[in-house]
Structure 1
Amino acid sequence: MSLPADASDCGPPSGGGKAFSWPTTSQKVDVPFKKDKHEGLDFNVPLKSPVVAVDSGTVIKNADNEIWIEHEKGVQYRYQYFTDLTAKVGTKVARGDQIGTSGSGDEADGAKGPHLHFALWVAEGNEKGEGKLVAIDPGVDSFGDEATGPSGDSGDCGCGAGGPLVGSNEQQQAFNYFVSSGYTKEQAAGIVGNMIHESAVKPMRLQNTAETVQTKAKDAEGNSLGWGIVQWTPASKIISNSRKGGVPYEQIETLAYQLDFLRRQLAGETVSPEKAAGQGLHAATTPEDAAYAFGHLYERFAGHENPNAPTYGVRKTSARKVFELYKGGTGVPGSGPATSCSAGSGNIAAVAMKLAWPTDGHDGLGTNASDATVAKPEYVAAMKQYNDPGGLRAYTDCGRFVATVMHMSGADPKFPKVSTGVQFDYMQNSGKYDFWHAVPPGGMKPGDILNGPGHTYLYVGPWGAEGKGYNAAAASLYGHVPEAGHLYAVGGQFWVFRLKAPPTPAGPPAEPKA
């Protein structure tokens, strides 16, 4: 597969359980923290590189070539030297959201020229965050460097730090990834059906080598053959240009990085866009159609112009087998096929967290129109597509929020769109849900729905502002738009409903012979 790649294809990597995401594409600190001399870290990064929020918070300054983000009272993240400062004062940002592009500056005790200066300021000696703010060393080891999934662009998914790939093998992980990125299961199967014949879905596979042979990115970089899950040809077209974007060789070798690289190309977001292939895939309705679309429009193998080429036949067969095996998901109700929050993922909890603010305090403004200005933009868009935004105070309606999540995630497309009482009766009588008037055996699980007289909301597990203990997402009619909250009143006012598990795949498919 010959594709021109470029450094701008490579977004900032997500955090992997560390305190912070990397603030930009570079993971190289040129000048470290020095108390009273250089109170921050200088990242060596080219001009106009993306700058992202290392954690969630509210923008409190956008001036003097600086952006300050307050994570919570007494904790601020400060970024300096920009070409563009896009995050406005008052904007609430999530971990991984882009806030601008990097610029250049000369520091007396720091770096000179193009770089990004990042500093952590905290209240000194006061647990309430009321003391004097002082700069402290954030420590390079506090930044996440694992490439675990999508790069956190809020326009597509907005899940923040992403998460580990889900599946028993590379084929299932790739299938789950594309379903969670907004493709149907048929379309995801078409992509994977092609990958099986390109590389056996092995990210370190070099063309004309055995499936068990792994070729490191550094060794493949100068090779004229194809390399990676879709056999980018020559290998340097993904490796060299990713390296220019500051991506380590080890990260380029991962399945997660290559899947995200491919996803962005199909979305037409990079300087090597393959939007026509993405559009062709989205138009496909069967695994066979999707296999043809991806082979014809993206892989463009020798002879792809002939729709009756034998190569299409074997790839369609593989796509159908992948679909039949993995269409049931992971077998975990509510958790979906991956950690992504995209439409159709089946992931109730992640979609809820996509649509709800990760903090409280987002009170409604009194009319449905003004409530829409308070609600998270992703929720406003989802309501227009999956529910009725014209209902009374719709954006603060708890039942509409739960229904929108169930429809958008694809977990239950027949879930009643409004009225907690109607929804209660549906869950008790549809046969789709287990339910308890107490904490379920084994405890709560992400994706559980709580429903009682006049109110319903979702359990999502730990999330939101650090130290707050948030574990639920809810709207409240006349009160607030969807936001983080606390689990309460289980076994008293509320019943717990859990979508029953889909069938579990039996095992990996046999690889067809090309």
Structure 2
Amino acid sequence: MTLIISNIYLERSQMTDNAQYIADYLIGNGWTQNAVAGILGNMEQESTMNPGLWQDLKYENMSGGYGLVQWTPATEYTSWADRNGYPWGGDTSSPTVYVNGQLERILWEVRYDQQWIATSAFPFSFTAFTQSGEAPEYLAEAFMKNYERPGIPELEKRKQNARYWFENLQYGGSRLEDVVQLVLSRVGKNTYSQDGGLRQRVFDEPNGYSDCSSLMWKAFERGAGIQIGTWTGDQMGHGELVWHNPAYEDVFSLEMQKESGAKRGDLVFWGPNDDPGSSSHVEMYLGDDQFVGHGSGIGPRVKTASAYTHSGKLVEVRRYLQGGAPPKPPDPPPPTGVYLVRWIPGRKE
């Protein structure tokens, strides 16, 4: 999956990876397929699903619209992104973090009832929208009227867009859960090995081979079609750093699990005591105080995260795909302000 972030209008064929990533992220945060299709129908009309788009292609025009839903003025998003450590504008060095910031802003708006104003035609909350099973066309109109409030509605296009994305994406956070289920499918079936050839035979039947890192490497490769690295140090150079353990405690306690914002499918790394910047072991976090991983002997095994110990120190949590429950937002709710009309790019159809 290749995310496109640029200040250009995208053709629909170019939008698919962005749309799938957005869908996976929102589904992973509890939205219904119908609600996701409704917002995607509007995003296509607002920004051609391009998180780097500026109104009229005027780069860094802070008084105009910006981003997936064309926040207007652009500072509505950029100021929030700065406070919360998300890149914007020309900083596309971490594409997933760039897009995540805009999606987290939307989730923040849902939590704090921002930007959404219920109308007589759609008298329900933003939260209710995310949980709705109404038709994608209905929800596309609801999002347009209660959230976007555009100067040029082009409602039928938004409805048609919503139907298209409803029917042409995979839903359910499927890629991440596929990876998790692949790891779980090997529980008690594999022999631990660090042999260069054997450690790649994770999915041999009835019995395979793996070590801690090859189990994750091959599961993400088979389940999601992505490369996260073949050993722990390599894997720590991929994905998104979710949380770093500054004190290098030994155990991933319940308090630490909550503090870290770890989600199902994240990888947790340990390093040697004398070199906390490197890594020697990895486990997959399942949520509900559980790990799954292959440390020795016959495995992998499911274990209690808050009771698990390793000879190394707990280093960090990394994320390679979206899913699970969202972390709490860092910002407090803002004061009530003025809601501005959204802009629609005047591109050729």
TMscore range, shorter length: 0.3 to 0.5
The structure, 1 or 2, with the larger RCO (C-alpha pairs under 8 Å, 6+ apart) is 2
Considering fraction of residues, name the structure with more strand.
Answer: 1
Which protein is bigger by CA-based radius of gyration? 1
TM-score, with normalisation over the residues of structure 1? 0.33
TM-score, with normalisation over the residues of structure 2? 0.46
